[in-house]
A and B are shown apart, each in its own frame.
Chain A
Amino acid sequence: MLPLLGVLIVVVGFALRRNPLIVVTIAGVTSALLAGMRPLQIVDAFGAGFASSRSISLAFIVLPVVGLAERYGLQQRAKMLIDRAAGLTAGRLLLVYLFVRETCAALGLTSIGGVAQMVRPVIYPMAEGAVMRAHDSPLPDRVSDEVKAHAAAVDNVGAFFGEDIFVAIGAVLLITAYVDANYHLTLDALQIALWAIPTAIAAFVIHGFRLLRLDHRLAVMIGGEPTAGEPGR
């Protein structure tokens, strides 16, 4: 059970809100030492792990493109567009994005969407514009944080539960490869993908329901009284 000490360091470190980079480094070194690895092996492991995980950081290469477009008013343009769609509140807009993101992911198109290239430049400014139109005032930090958090959450929920319906996605292939290799079965990738559908629908319904209540929540946060006739929540 000794290796679990590393897990404990991570949990305590995050709970105390220490800088995650330091927490992770200390936890990693501790676990490795407890497992009997020599210092040079540990340093090598940091190098090897970094080299093999570089693909996660590729999302950042879109930043020069996004930054350039922002310089010339991309976020402002997104807000202007939302002003034309009168019925579109922040909650409804995010519901539409949830549907698009989840459907695209289910078709294997996970690269459509993403926080760097879609949420920051387009979806968030639109959502913020919709809230500002409804309340006619600049948003306090707490409220804009809430809108940002919801915009990013939609991106995750849509991608996570949509992508498993696509046969050629990593998760489906991992399941079939692991089970086939270890238990001598021949699982059909299509079967795995189909059985992911009930959860995908539930995710859309649950999260979509919360998004429909978001506008009311934001109104309460901003300080507007709940509309007459509607019970307070």
Chain B
Amino acid sequence: MITAEWVYWIAGAFFFTTGVQVALDRAHAKRLTNCAFWSLLGLSFFYGSFISVLPLWPLGLSVIAMAVIAGIGLTSPGRVTTTDDAQREASARERGNALFAPALTIPAVTVAIAVGAGKLQIAGEPLLAKGQETLVGLGVAVLCALLVGLVLLRPKTPVIALTEGRRLLESVGWAVLLPQMLSVLGGLFTQAGVGTAVGTIAHAVVPEQSRLLAVVVYAVGMALFTIIMGNAFAAFPIMTAAVGWPVLVQHLGAHPAPLFAIGMVTGYCGTLCTPMAANFNLVPPALLEMTDRYRQIKVQIPTAVALFVVNVGLLLTLPFK
């Protein structure tokens, strides 16, 4: 059975080879620390597959080490030789729309596998692990796309794909680790009782008689708690237990389906506003090499606020029909 672990090893191998390339790059300004960061990240992806039999603390130390190396500014991208603009123009004219083929292979194969291969069985066992079809699909899709790219574009050696991958990965830099660090933080917050504290506050301030105010507390709570945790999925159970169920459903008679459906997307308005949702709001600016890393959040805020107001309006009407 093919599981997501195989795909994690592809990621681990990519990160680790980036570390090796940095180690071989004598011109790199921060060669040792960068090599340590990327190699540790790669090895951690492999180690994570075996934590049922190996102790957790070496992985934990490695994660903290990466955060410290990158956090005190010891990582920076090296210079990778690639083609210049004039060469790319010429190549784009010569190769035409075939250039889109590798990039488009990725979604095409991912979707095909996620939808189609989910039902395949070999010797009575499903080919893909249940619930992991999309991740496995992505892994297979990337390998297919790489093959398509190598055949169509014919670089001198396949290693060039890894060099180009390193160029982009290094330009994203330490932000690569941030989404996972925030996920770790979310877990620690939950264990430390942050959710319970927020729920207690929300429950204490919610006025039980006024539909308007109760809905506003629920909506603000969903958005604010999502901003804190970077994830509406973390806010949903807390706000539902504190306000949604006891006050809005039981006391004021709201219908659960529209209340919770719209409550969740009200949380998403918070996701658009917060750097804590790093994979959505901080990694893209790094990938796009923006000079202002917070510009994207600033662009999203007006839509988030307007949509929040619309959602409050919907919450006041639809669940109470």
Q: How far is the CA of A186 from the CA of B96 in the complex (A)?
A: 54
Q: For the complex, would chain A's binding face be called helix, strand, loop or mixed by DSSP majority?
A: helix
**Do the beta carbons of A49 and B67 come within 8 Å of each other?**
no
**CB within 8 Å for A54 and B48 given contacts A3-B197, A22-B67, A73-B92:** yes
* Closest-CB distance, A201 to chain B (whole angstroms): 10
Name which residue of chain A comes closest to B281, CB basis.
A156
From the candidates A47, A73, A196, name the one contacting B91 in the complex (CB within 8 A). Answer: A73
Whether B56 is near chain A, meaning CB under 8 Å from some CB there, is yes
Given A35-B191, A65-B142, A146-B299, is A58 in contact with B7 using a C-beta cutoff of 8 Å? yes
A135 → chain B, closest Cβ, in Å? Answer: 19
Which B180-212 residues have C-beta < 8 A from chain A?
A: 180-189, 191-194, 197-198
The answer to whether A53 touches B180 (Cβ under 8 A) is yes
What residues of A have a CB within 8 angstroms of the CB of B76 in the complex?
A: none
Contact status of A112 and B257, CB under 8 A, knowing A25-B67, A73-B95? no
Given contacts A109-B111, A198-B314, contact A50 B59 (CB under 8 A): yes
Decide: A21 and B287 in contact? CB cutoff 8 A. no
B48 CB contacts on chain A under 8 angstroms: 50-51, 54
Contact residues in A for B296 (Cβ distance below 8 Å): 148-149, 152-153
Given A72-B83, A178-B240, answer yes or no on A45-B184 (Cβ-Cβ < 8 Å). Answer: yes
**Chain B residues, CB < 8 A from A85:** none
Question: Which B residues are CB-close (under 8 A) to A46?
Answer: 59-60, 63-64, 184
Q: Write out the residue numbers on chain A whose beta carbons fall within 8 Å of the beta carbon of B300.
A: 153, 156-157
Residues of B contacting A157 with CB < 8 Å? 272, 300, 303
Which one of A20, A76, A206 contacts B278 once the chains associate, using CB atoms below 8 Å?
Answer: A20
Chain B binding surface SS class:
helix
> Do residues B193 and A3 form an inter-chain contact, with CB atoms below 8 A?
yes
- Contact in complex: A67, B161 (CB < 8 Å): yes
B292 interface contact, C-beta 8 A? yes
With A27-B185, A64-B165, A77-B97 as given contacts, are A55 and B314 in contact (CB-CB < 8 Å)? Answer: no
| 0/1 interface trace, chain A 196-232, chain B, CB 8 Å (1 if under) | 1011101100110010000000000000000000000
Interface string of B42-62 (1 = CB under 8 A from A): 001101110100001111111
Please tell me the number of chain A residues within 8 Å of chain B, measured between CB atoms.
113
Report the number of A-B residue pairs with Cβ-Cβ less than 8 Å: 418
**Least CB separation from B51: chain A residue:** A51
State how many angstroms separate the Cβ of A155 from the closest Cβ of chain B: 7
Shortest Cβ gap from A125 to chain B (Å): 10
Cα–Cα distance between A187 and B87 once the two chains are bound (Å): 58
Q: Give the contacts of A92-143 with B (CB-CB under 8 A).
A: 109, 111-113, 115-122, 124, 141
Say yes or no: B83 contacts A164, CB within 8 Å: no
**Which residue of B56, B110, B142, B284 contacts A44 across the interface (Cβ within 8 Å)?**
B56
Cα of A50 to Cα of B87 in the assembled complex, Å = 41
- Interface positions of B from 74 to 109, Cβ below 8 Å from A: 82-83, 85, 87-93, 95-97, 99-100, 102-103, 105-107
Q: Does B8 reach chain A (CB closer than 8 Å)?
A: yes
In the complex, are the beta carbons of A24 and B299 less than 8 A apart? no
Give the Cβ gap from B9 to chain A, nearest Cβ, in Å. 10
Asked if residues A187 and B256 are in contact (CB atoms below 8 Å), the reply is yes
Least Cβ–Cβ distance between B279 and chain A, in angstroms = 5
Q: Does A77 contact B99, Cβ atoms closer than 8 Å? A: yes
B213 at the A/B interface (Cβ < 8 Å)? no
Q: Are B262 and A32 closer than 8 Å at their CB atoms?
A: no
- Chain A residues within an 8 Å CB radius of B116: none
Task: Return the CB mask of A10-49 against B: 1 if under 8 Å, else 0.
Answer: 1000100001111011011001101101001011111111
Interface core residue of A1, A27, A58, A191 (most chain B CB under 10 Å): A58
- The reply to whether A64 and B146 contact each other, CB–CB distance below 8 Å, is yes
- Taking A40-B57, A70-B168, A174-B233 as known contacts, 14 extra A-B pairs with beta carbons closer than 8 A to each other, sorted by chain A number, are A4-B194, A28-B188, A34-B192, A35-B191, A43-B64, A47-B57, A53-B183, A59-B279, A61-B11, A68-B153, A112-B107, A119-B288, A152-B284, A206-B310
18 residue pairs from A and B, CB less than 8 Å apart: A20-B275, A35-B192, A43-B57, A45-B188, A49-B184, A50-B48, A67-B167, A69-B103, A74-B100, A117-B103, A152-B296, A153-B299, A155-B284, A179-B260, A192-B257, A195-B262, A196-B261, A203-B303
